[in-house]
Chain A
Amino acid sequence: MSLLTVKGLTASYGVSQALFGVDLDIAAGEVVALMGRNGMGKSTTVKAICRMISAQGELRFDGQDLHALPSHKAARLGLGLVPEGRRCFRDLTVAENLLATSRPGAWDMTKVTTLFPRLGERHSQLAASLSGGEQQMLAIGRALMTNPRLLILDEATEGLAPIIRQEIWAAITRLKADTDMAILVIDKTLAELAQVSDRAVVLERGRTVWSGAMAALTPDVTERYVGV
């Protein structure tokens, strides 16, 4: 059964329509890559799923209609968002960032710092003083502390040094192997996406134009819609 169901999703920013019909399904434990060139609606789809913007069309999480819920209640169902641009709470320490969002469940401070040892080493350091990569790890840790059933990673490796990107991809691979958490991942690096994802959904001009197993994603499709 589908954990997240998105059908015919449309959304607008004022008079400017951004989504024209996005279809997307994610089952528990599945890793799905949401792909497409810049400006094709990937982040808008994430914002609509997380109820950060209003949208129309079918939008269900674990059978529950997300349209009826404000953003924070939708998140409490088990949606964990790692937003584009990280946006950690700069005036709080690493430990405080994690504690501020924690909810009961398997993920706690120890588990997060085991996944990202750098966070453990800097637990009493202000988030503002962390490097970009460490802030990204903190943003992922913060989302994990909410014990989500679906983790959404929006451009989690964008602008990071290759070694940090490797650490983050390794963490995602570990999450896939060790947990039954579903993951929706948006990224521009096709090779890493192909390694970690079970399926891919490709957006073009706010519409789903391709959906299927990652192994079935052909160079023809990626060249045409992703630009790589």
Chain B
Amino acid sequence: MSRETLFNAALLLGLLLVPIWALLTDEPFTITLATRAVILALAAAGLNIALGIGGLVSLGHAVFFGIGGYAMGILAHHAQGFTPLMEWPFVIEGTKSMPVIWLLAIVVSALAALVIGLLSLRTTGAYFIMITLAFGQMFYYFAISWSAYGGEDGMSIYVRNDFPGLNTLAPIQFYGLCLALLVVVLVFSARLRRAPFGLSLNAARQVPARLEAVGLDPMRLKLVAFVISGAITGLAGALFADLNRFVSPTMFSWQFSGEIMVLVILGGVGRLFGPVAGAVTFVALEHVLGGLTEFWHIYLGLILLGVVLFARGGITGLIAGREASHD
């Protein structure tokens, strides 16, 4: 068993034990913090497929996070207000069911990623970053102008949505749900990176021209990866909105796109549990340093600088070695 596998197992064990400890010591806020870390890890795990395996430096992933959030917000808003979502040509009601909301968040985010990917993947490097950023800004300002759903002020959802058989208002149960989804996504990511598709995508990042010479279309591989990545980030957005019971245009902001990227870089680009390590560290720093000074981002910046300059594989690389495990 490699050091990286041991590190991943320790992280997962921590995610299991810390909330249980918080429950036993009656510290619900710690469970909420852990839930935030798990949801951010899920968003970053989505980006890690595009960025870590495919080398796609997307500065617009908040688009999918926001779409997921607004999918939840809009459906719950109509369900809780007993107003139909649509009346013509047929009536569509809102819903408070998490599985339905998740499905819609995944589908709409995937469709958005397909359209954005088709247009932006024609470019590479700085142009790709700029196009994804531009899409992010478009969605951000659209959300600000969408007065029907709160406009600039965002929209509150009064009660957390339902999941069959669970009391989602109990922090530990909602945490368990989020953790289960994160584990599913990590297992999916692990299988994806070992499958011929993941290997080809990795190869497309390294030598795209050579991949074409063996009969594979790098553009198609990257598009599929971008869509999968967007769909996962969209799911994270829906969970994040349910955690806070609030959605706002900031979910679409370029700062948030940057934040997701920081999580991936901090944890280790392309490392399976990199997003988890990044998100846990980020939330811990936010909580600890945020309690000392409101300018805690300065220290985060210094840490990020250190990681980029001296720890190529991020926190995972520092602890488990620079080379990614091929277990």
Contacts and interface: CB of A to CB of B under 8 A. Distances in A.
A102 B196 contact: yes
Interface of B: 196, 199-200, 202-203, 206-207, 209-218, 323-324, 326
A89 B207 contact: yes
A101 B326 contact: no
Interface in A67-111: 70-73, 75-76, 80-81, 83, 87, 89-93, 96-97, 99-103
5 contacts: A73-B215, A75-B213, A89-B202, A89-B203, A93-B326
Given A83-B210, A142-B214, 18 more contacts: A50-B213, A71-B213, A73-B215, A75-B215, A89-B207, A90-B206, A91-B206, A92-B202, A92-B203, A96-B199, A99-B199, A100-B196, A101-B200, A101-B203, A101-B214, A101-B216, A146-B214, A146-B215
A126 interface: yes
Contacts of A228: none
Contacts of A126: 323, 326
Contacts of A103: 215
Nearest to B205: A91
A102 B196 CA distance: 8
A70 B212 contact: yes
Contact of B210 (A73, A76, A87, A124): A87
A143 interface: yes
A93 B324 CA distance: 11
Scoring A76, A81, A92, A96 by chain B CB atoms within 10 A of each residue's CB, the highest score goes to A96
Contact of A81 (B202, B214, B217): B214
A99 B206 contact: no
A84 B200 CA distance: 21
A221 interface: no
A99 B214 contact: no
A71 B207 CA distance: 14
B311 to A, nearest CB: 18
